[in-house]
Chain A
């Protein structure tokens, strides 16, 4: 049981790391630009599709991943210049409508280009195995790589935001947009950079999951909701909060799914426990969110306003 617990903990961390990669970009855009971007999920999806195509073209997943990064950065730039720039001063409802329209357009476009059937990327040979963990338990190497890549990204973001000039502007922008603008910082340029960077992070997440999960036209929407939960728990605009929130959501979700029914069985009949566990497990994350918001209305690391 202990080894199962450890394994599930590792699974939870891995899922959380993945959520962090998506939520990081979302929280930057939402927190600093005050912009609700429902299209963040489809950029993640496009990243995964591009990774599939680039991998097929170059024959190497590593190269495919490297090419995906500038490609999604470029997509972020183009979208910002063409669409989002016009929406910053509009109310949230307009932003929701416009980005939701974009979700539909991109999803349909992806189906036209790549087809509706799920695609996949062959995992690089060197990373495709599993390593023994404890006893019979094994853990896939690639999932360890995902954890490593996520931690590296988190560290990189921490350094950029905490210890560089652009990071300082970012933090200032998150606190008071008008003041930063008044001090002579070109806020539009800053927004373009943040947006493109956020898109690249989403694309990176998409490319990282392509060897584990299927690449299909519905993948963006499923993950977007959880990403919003993560940034609300962590505090909107806080990358540190997104990291904590993502790990929390990942671990609670994974643990709840596997140990919820087991724990319930201690107090209920097995059949009823199975039934209740099935109902409760998907709700746990949202219960967690409600509990955290009740205690800290701005999230774990949110600024008091």
Chain B
């Protein structure tokens, strides 16, 4: 009997997947990883994928069910992402989609995923709309709300008594949000504010202005390759006497290229590899042993997503009953590598935030390191706009 069913399934599959023939049965948990895995920003998606798969290997059967993990690339294109998301939930029958990395992709994939009844868990992107007005019971984030990392740096600049900070970000939505987030918790003066072209490589003109103004500090949001260039050129221009505050600009995904140039530069984060919890020690050790690189937040947040899914599915006794699964996820019944972790009513985390500093470790690798805790059990400021039915 079983054998003939297998043959039938194979036959159906071989006829070019004419419809969802190889339908999922109830004891298989299908998880789709929808991440950016090509282009200049691919390293972020690769880290998230590796972090998730590391957890999956450690756990074995996630949630005690036969697990199938499908990894797809959104190419950082919203239209491609929409199609891939639809494919994941409709053809592959994914119960849970973990993704994306970038906020503009989140808007593109949320609807196809939740419309099918699947759960969407973001391992990084945390746009304000999904924390506020468009929050949804099927959408969770194991990361942060985008503004929070910048608010950390604003609060630090405020506490330091800076009164003349120079702001620098690329000219697109996330760049504007970043500076708005910084100003949310910083009330001092602004020496200057520059929006550069997205993808700009040479910052000599901007650095010359900073040198001319000699501000108390610089706050920069320059993700990916832009940050690598900015940090190296900042150091080369001899500006290192001016404190460099940042978010998503110096982390473990960019440090292999920034190296010594980034040492002692400051960042805001919800985690660093040297955060002192037993779960984090085990995670960082296993990750470094397996991939020979220091994990960044993207890896950590995806790792936590896998741990969260495992615990919640066990608690709910499967994925068939979506209401039970959502209720279980809301309880966050796992131990985060970050220690304290719980979900707010908008399914975004309530967690601690830290000031981090880039250090060269004894083994010669570069990593961020926690300097001090800035916010305790910090919740985003959009939760009030969230009306979940």
Contact = CB atoms under 8 A, between A and B. Distances in A.
A268 B193 CA distance: 17
Contacts of B212: 3-4, 7, 136-137
Interface string B238-273: 100000000000000110111100000000000000
B232 interface: yes
Nearest to A108: B38
Interface residues of B, number: 38
Given A138-B237, A142-B236, A117 B256 contact: yes
Interface string A1-39: 001100110010011000000000000000000000000
Given A119-B257, A278-B195, A217 B236 contact: no
Q: Place the interface of chain A in its size category.
A: 35 or more
B259 A111 contact: no
Given A117-B256, A120-B258, A214-B228, A222 B201 contact: yes
Contacts, number: 107
A117 B42 contact: yes
Nearest to A218: B40
Contacts of B238: 129-130, 138, 140
Contacts of A218: 39-40, 199, 225
Nearest to B235: A128
Nearest to B41: A116
Nearest to B293: A117
A4 B209 contact: yes
Given A120-B228, A214-B225, A218-B40, A254 B205 contact: yes
Interface in A115-162: 115-120, 122-123, 128-130, 136-140, 142-143
A214 B211 contact: no
Nearest to B236: A140
Nearest to B204: A11
A130 B236 contact: yes
Given A122-B259, A138-B238, A217 B208 contact: no
Contact of A7 (B38, B199, B211, B225): B211
A137 B211 contact: yes
Interface string B181-206: 00000000000010111010110111
Contacts of B211: 7, 136-138
B236 A118 contact: no
B236 to A, nearest CB: 4
B232 A212 contact: yes
A281 B196 CA distance: 10
A91 interface: no
Given A120-B232, A123-B236, A222 B42 contact: no
B237 A140 contact: yes
Contacts of A116: 38-43, 46
B229 interface: yes
A36 B195 CA distance: 34
Given A214-B229, A282-B197, A15 B257 contact: no
A258 interface: yes
A257 B205 contact: yes
B171 interface: yes
A257 B206 CA distance: 8
Given A138-B238, A140-B237, A120 B259 contact: yes
A116 B76 CA distance: 14
A140 B43 CA distance: 30
A212 B236 contact: yes
A118 B257 contact: yes
B214 interface: yes
Contacts of A138: 211, 237-238
Given A136-B214, A214-B257, A216-B225, 16 more contacts: A7-B211, A8-B205, A116-B40, A116-B46, A118-B43, A120-B259, A136-B211, A136-B212, A140-B237, A212-B232, A212-B233, A218-B199, A254-B204, A257-B205, A258-B206, A282-B197
Interface of B: 38-43, 46, 171, 193, 195-197, 199, 201-202, 204-206, 208-209, 211-212, 214, 224-225, 228-229, 232-233, 236-238, 253-254, 256-259
7 contacts: A4-B208, A8-B205, A120-B228, A120-B258, A218-B225, A274-B195, A278-B171
Interface of A: 3-4, 7-8, 11, 14-15, 111, 115-120, 122-123, 128-130, 136-140, 142-143, 212-214, 216-219, 222, 254, 257-258, 274, 278, 281-282
Top 5 A-B pairs, shortest CB-CB distance: A116-B42, A130-B238, A117-B43, A138-B238, A11-B204
